[in-house]
Structure 1
Amino acid sequence: MPGPGGKPHNFQKPKSVGKTLKRIFGYMLEKKWMLILVAFFVIISAGAGVVGTYFLKPIINDCIIPLIGKSPQDADFGPFIQMILIICAVYLVGALSSYLYSRIMIKISHGTLNAIRKDLFESMQDLPIKYFDTHTHGELMSRYTNDVDTLREAISNGVTQLITSAITVAGTFIMMLVLSPILTLLIIVMLFVMFAIIKTIGGKSAANFKKQQKAVGEINGYIEEMIEGQKVVKVFCHEDESKIKFAQLNENMRQAATNANTYASVIMPIMGNISYFNYALTAAIGAMMVIAGRMDIGTIASFLQYTRSFSQPITQISQQFNSILAALAGAERIFEIIDEKPEQDEGYVTLVNVIKNKDGTLTETEELTGLWAWKHPHHDGSLTYTELTGDVRFEDVNFGYDEKKLVLRNVSLFAKPGQKIAFVGSTGAGKTTITNLINRFYDVPDGKIRYDGININKIKKDDLRRSLAMVLQDTHLFTGTVRENIRYGRLDATDDEVIAAANLANAHSFIRHLPQGYDTMLVSDGSNLSQGQRQLIAIARAAIANPPVLILDEATSSIDTRTEALIEKGMDELMKGRTVFVIAHRLSTVRNANAIMVLENGEVIERGNHDELIAQRGKYYQLYTGQFELS
């Protein structure tokens, strides 16, 4: 049910290859029948290669050798042509199967990535604010770009190549045993040599790819910071310093990437040369066996071809080794976010629509009455309804983002319904932290916050936040029309309500003069508007939510004095009858507050209205008279 605010998952080495593969295949199994078809066509494709190679033996022994020394007139080419046609048919079936499994695998890979991206995004929406405060945007974005891309490549090509190679190796090994157990033993010895090389070089490559992945995250985060802060960079003429820092990060990435890809690139030539050596050694030993009469020419021809067929898949696997590890490590990074502990909410008090009876009691209703109450179930099975009025109280609250460093110390304050409470103090005094706690962006470890007499830890976070509206200092507008951005505060608002909210925030006048008015598209966080205009839209967005509690965190910081005066009346209308918490550096904006809280080092050192605090001649007096400036 809607409340007042609106309607209602390049690389580091993977830690657990088996577990990660299991999860990836878990997503792929959602397309189970497609996977069965892929497996079928992969078997046909790999089998065709194995069977086609075996036909070299009969075509040489039974078709070619009998023709040696015969004239064209006496020679019977019928069996030879027939055998060639059979081989062509076998390889044609194999090629068609390869095409079909490749096409199907594309659908599977994109469907799998669609599901993974969906889970990743949904999990990210459930993460607490603390997670985003402790991770850079570039680091999080790399999950959707770099990590997803490496996973796409592996699923599209790597999985089928692994299956095809495994079937080819197994089938080829069986056929080699059938043709010559002695030569097969030689192949096994060379196989162990190959695996030892892959393990040694691959391990060194993986360690450097881990460094490369870390460097990618750092450079992406730095680039994003520079793009967002380009104006600041230019204002302070720090272009050269930015270039130097970027050059350092870029050099770190170059070194890590060079080392990683050097090891990765050397595997293929080494494996290729070992393969050639193995082929030559097998041919020499096989030739001696033919001379000794222990093997026929057709058998050695087929076996030599199997030797190439046997080493080629292993070489391909070695070539894909690092990309497969990259995909698995990328998948682990994605799954880390999907598995991240979501925002905890043990609240059980919910926000419901009610009607007030003649005797003053409240009755829950499904209709949108505009009257809200907290539905509070008790241990004995009874229910009580407490009208939502906006009474907020802090009782001896201690809090720190870091357990070792408190930001708030023994803070006690109250805001009665309809009161305007202002917070003033230097940067870092704890003003914004108080509003973060009211929203339950962070939970209080010591002390209590009560909302309409109810401990907010008992209130479900979604219901709590529906009863609040915030206008932040850093305005964020979404890509969409002006109308859609205002309506974000309450998605079921009508066009008339959107205009009324804009009028209340004094934004209607400038919106009306935009190229398409309320249908003007905003892009890049509203970059086509001035900072003040963006802030006015944010205020309108809060106004349309029509909440009983309003939090204004430097809401007018980006508005000039003239514009501030114009919206003061509208803001008064917006705040009328609501509990309002105001954080402002301009003391002129808090003069009419019912109570002004002066914070210093996380403690409330003064409380009172403007006149009372001026009379006390304390810190507020110093701030107001300019003897001490806010920073």
Structure 2
Amino acid sequence: MKAQVKIEQRPRPGPGPGGGFGVPAEKPRDLLGAARRVLTELRTDRTWVLIAVLLGTVGTFLTVIGPKMLGNATNVIFDGLVGRMLDPSMSREETIEALRAAGEDSQADMLAGMPQVVPGQGVDFDRLAAVLAVVLAVYAGAFLFTWLQGRLITTVVQQVVYRLRERVETKLAHLPLRYFDRQARGEVLSRVTNDIDNIAQSLQQTLSQLITSVLTVVGVVTMMVWISWQLALVALVTIPLSAIVVGQIAKRSQPEFVEQWKRTGTVNAHVEEMYTGHDLVHVFGHQQAAQATFREENDKLFRASFRAQFITGTIQPVMGWVANLGYVVIAVLGGLRVASGTMSLGDVQAFVQYSRQFSQPITQIASLMNLMQSGAASAERVFDLLDEEEESGDPPEPAVLGTVAGRVAFEDVDFSYRPDQPLIEGLTFVAEPGETIAIVGPTGAGKTTLVNLIMRFYEVQSGRITIDGVDTRELSRGDLRSHIGMVLQDTWLFNGSIEDNIRYGSHRPVTDAEMLAAAEATGVDPFVRTLAEGYQTALDEEGTAGVAVSAGEKQLLTIARAFIADPAILILDEATSSVDTRTEVLVQHAMNALRRGRTSFVIAHRLSTIRDADVILVMEDGAIVEQGSHDELLAAGGAYARLYRSQFAAAAAEVD
């Protein structure tokens, strides 16, 4: 007997991956922190951001001086209208004295504040045309610089999101298997797609408008103070009132946005799960239950989204009401100052425009709060993913296996998915090169865990696993897994041709002859030749794209994929459990060809498929309780014999 086994008593283990794990408690929400992290992503493009700010500054400056110039045009028209009503035989100063002598002090004060008025002269259209031409040029320049700023910001944002997607993709490739065990696939996909798209949309809209709005506020305030500091004070009183309003509304909407994106992930997870399992949903008549669950989760998403959008949607009308209060006060006070001659009509017109321009960017900033909060909530979910603990790194100078004989040894290995629930303790056995080791036992005994440890999907807590005497932890994962082929119960095929799916198993370029040899050796070639397009037949992740490919034929494709990899060590995990008896014979022949000359670990519930194994290991509760050949274990009358008899007894009962 080549396999040595050390058996120890151990407590009953807890569940494996996914069995009993809960999603970890949510971290405290820090949306400002998430927003800061998003902005740090702009550091790579800070030069372009600075150029965009400069373009925005120039564009905003031109936009801000526009009303003042339009006010000058109004003054030209008003001066002409007033001048035509005055006696041309008197100068402006004489007219002012005459008005005061007649007791018309208000009209005299107003005329005194209009130095360009010439009695008897109408509107100076040449001067008006010159002013309007300058205004037109200013607004054209403002449009050009603002457009350039928007284009540059769009480029920067898309570059940031591009890099963020790359980081997420790289992160997913380095996350340990336990992360995916406890996360619903739809939830992960929602973070990778919906949340990143929402970050892009929020960053695109807020960054450009935020820069323009802030610069506009600064420029408008400067112009208002220059025209009339008294009216400017009236306009500035609305700022603290606006800040209080926005702060209170944002405080109430922030948790609703967190809930909105959380519910989005839940709905996506449910839809993805029901879609991938739609056959079973129909078979077991759970359509109504699935629809009821969807309606419930969709309703929760609707309520969370409605509350978030409704609360933040009140910002703009409330801000508009505050702005209108300031507008009314400014209009009244401005009219009085024109009448008193302390301001020109054009300046009042410009100031009214500035008051509108002043409230508009503040309102925009306030209305951007919903986008900023929504984007920050999505950013937090993406950064939570990026902050997940990765697999332990490869050693700085990893060992290299080279040519692998295939001797696999477990030396006093301890492992558990949860610290408080031991699973494997003190496990020791050796698989010699070329042997076929069958691993059997009831569900939850630790069979799949054993091969996960060989692949280093999980790390052992103590002890070690060696290949040809080299500890697997001294190897890089890439080198280790390049020598191991794996065929699972669930057949994974991707979008592409049958040929592409077979070639996927190799780490090197594969010739057509090698691909065909693998297909012939594993029984793929006969059924492929019955297809109209042969090896160029297109498949999708479900294994079929308009062609009839059975479950057994899909399994044969995955075996051919492993065959072409030419691994020294082979793992077959329930590879025949989902096929019928006739197809099982074909798959068994293919697996026999695949196992030839390789150290193979075969996990099987159908004991009839592993009779010819060199050594059968019987596992219960994470321990090897028996070992030997098929005949030896049957003769021993132990755990294996009980499993074997129970299968055939069940088969007999079905026939009866």
TM-score of the aligned structures, taking structure 1 as reference length: 0.88
> CA distance change for structure 1 residues 101 and 15 in 2, over 3 Å: closer, same or farther?
closer
SS of equivalent to 2:291? helix
Alignment partners' CA distance in 2, 1:299 and 1:106: 37
1:505 aligns with 2:522: yes
> Over residues 173-218 of structure 1, what are the superposed CA-to-partner deviations in whole Å (9 max), with x where a residue is unaligned?
1111111122222222211000100000011111111111111111
Alignment partners' CA distance in 1, 2:330 and 2:650: 84
Q: Which amino acid aligns with 2:435?
A: Q
1:44 aligns with 2:58: yes
SS of equivalent to 1:219? helix
Pick one of 90, 93, 103 that aligns with 2:138.
90
**Contact 1:623–1:630 under 8 Å retained in 2:** no
Displacement after TM superposition at 1:427 (Å): 1.0
Match of 2:409 in 1: 393
1:572 aligns with 2:587: no
Alignment partners' CA distance in 2, 1:77 and 1:302: 20
**Contact 2:405–2:568 under 8 Å retained in 1:** yes
> CA distance change for structure 1 residues 22 and 100 in 2, over 3 Å: closer, same or farther?
closer
Residue pairs, 1:552-631, within 5 angstroms: 552-626=572-646
Alignment partners' CA distance in 2, 1:17 and 1:594: 57
**Contact 2:497–2:536 under 8 Å retained in 1:** yes
Alignment partners' CA distance in 1, 2:582 and 2:544: 22
Alignment partners' CA distance in 1, 2:613 and 2:474: 29
Displacement after TM superposition at 1:113 (Å): 2.0
Residue pairs, 1:527-538, within 5 angstroms: 527-528=544-545, 529-538=549-558
Match of 2:306 in 1: 258
Match of 1:193 in 2: 241
Paired positions, count: 585
1:326 aligns with 2:342: no
Alignment partners' CA distance in 2, 1:433 and 1:75: 93
Alignment partners' CA distance in 2, 1:390 and 1:422: 16
SS of equivalent to 1:405? coil
> CA distance change for structure 1 residues 124 and 239 in 2, over 3 Å: closer, same or farther?
same
Pick one of 156, 160, 179 that aligns with 1:112.
160
Moved more, 76-85 or 331-340: 331-340
Displacement after TM superposition at 1:342 (Å): 2.5
Instruction: Structure 1 unaligned segments of length 5 or more: list them.
Output: 1-11, 353-372, 375-386
**Contact 1:425–1:630 under 8 Å retained in 2:** no
Displacement after TM superposition at 1:441 (Å): 0.2
Q: Which amino acid aligns with 2:414?
A: N
Match of 1:365 in 2: none
1:551 aligns with 2:571: yes
SS of equivalent to 2:237? helix
Match of 2:173 in 1: 125
Alignment partners' CA distance in 2, 1:173 and 1:295: 18
Pick one of 187, 197, 203 that aligns with 2:251.
203
- Give me the CA root mean square deviation: 2.2
Alignment partners' CA distance in 2, 1:322 and 1:629: 65
> Over residues 46-90 of structure 1, what are the superposed CA-to-partner deviations in whole Å (9 max), with x where a residue is unaligned?
112101011134333345324425289854311111111111111
SS of equivalent to 2:617? strand
Displacement after TM superposition at 1:428 (Å): 0.8
Alignment partners' CA distance in 2, 1:233 and 1:456: 42
**Contact 2:487–2:559 under 8 Å retained in 1:** yes
Displacement after TM superposition at 1:36 (Å): 4.6
Moved more, 343-352 or 188-197: 343-352
Alignment partners' CA distance in 2, 1:422 and 1:131: 29
Alignment partners' CA distance in 2, 1:310 and 1:15: 26
Match of 2:39 in 1: 22
Alignment partners' CA distance in 2, 1:216 and 1:122: 24
SS of equivalent to 1:340? coil
Residue pairs, 1:326-365, within 5 angstroms: 326-347=374-395, 350=398
> Over residues 110-149 of structure 1, what are the superposed CA-to-partner deviations in whole Å (9 max), with x where a residue is unaligned?
2332222122112211211122112211111112322122
Match of 2:5 in 1: none
Moved more, 602-611 or 341-350: 341-350
SS of equivalent to 2:314? helix
Alignment partners' CA distance in 1, 2:123 and 2:316: 45
**Contact 2:446–2:619 under 8 Å retained in 1:** yes
Displacement after TM superposition at 1:289 (Å): 3.1
Displacement after TM superposition at 1:481 (Å): 1.0
**Contact 1:13–1:206 under 8 Å retained in 2:** no
Structure of greater Rg: 2
Alignment partners' CA distance in 1, 2:516 and 2:330: 85
SS of equivalent to 1:406? coil
SS of equivalent to 2:31? coil
Q: Which amino acid aligns with 2:470?
A: I
Alignment partners' CA distance in 2, 1:286 and 1:400: 78
Match of 1:298 in 2: 346
**Contact 2:399–2:474 under 8 Å retained in 1:** no
**Contact 2:213–2:362 under 8 Å retained in 1:** yes
> Over residues 14-70 of structure 1, what are the superposed CA-to-partner deviations in whole Å (9 max), with x where a residue is unaligned?
2505632432312543xx34x454333322321121010111343333453244252
1:541 aligns with 2:561: yes
Q: Which amino acid aligns with 2:639?
A: K
Match of 1:148 in 2: 196
SS of equivalent to 1:344? coil
Percent identity at matched positions?
37
Match of 1:6 in 2: none
Match of 2:485 in 1: 469
SS of equivalent to 2:84? coil
Displacement after TM superposition at 1:13 (Å): 6.1
Match of 1:4 in 2: none
Displacement after TM superposition at 1:335 (Å): 3.0
**Contact 2:217–2:361 under 8 Å retained in 1:** yes
Alignment partners' CA distance in 2, 1:242 and 1:570: 39
Displacement after TM superposition at 1:547 (Å): 0.9
Moved more, 56-65 or 112-121: 56-65
Displacement after TM superposition at 1:287 (Å): 2.4
> Over residues 501-538 of structure 1, what are the superposed CA-to-partner deviations in whole Å (9 max), with x where a residue is unaligned?
11121111111212211111111331342111111000
> CA distance change for structure 1 residues 446 and 75 in 2, over 3 Å: closer, same or farther?
closer
Q: Which amino acid aligns with 1:93?
A: G
Alignment partners' CA distance in 2, 1:597 and 1:474: 23
SS of equivalent to 1:343? coil
Alignment partners' CA distance in 2, 1:165 and 1:93: 18
Alignment partners' CA distance in 1, 2:224 and 2:283: 73
SS of equivalent to 2:509? coil
SS of equivalent to 1:68? helix
Match of 2:447 in 1: 431
Q: Which amino acid aligns with 1:453?
A: G
1:286 aligns with 2:334: yes
Q: Which amino acid aligns with 2:440?
A: V
Alignment partners' CA distance in 2, 1:238 and 1:219: 17
> Over residues 216-240 of structure 1, what are the superposed CA-to-partner deviations in whole Å (9 max), with x where a residue is unaligned?
1111111111111111111110111
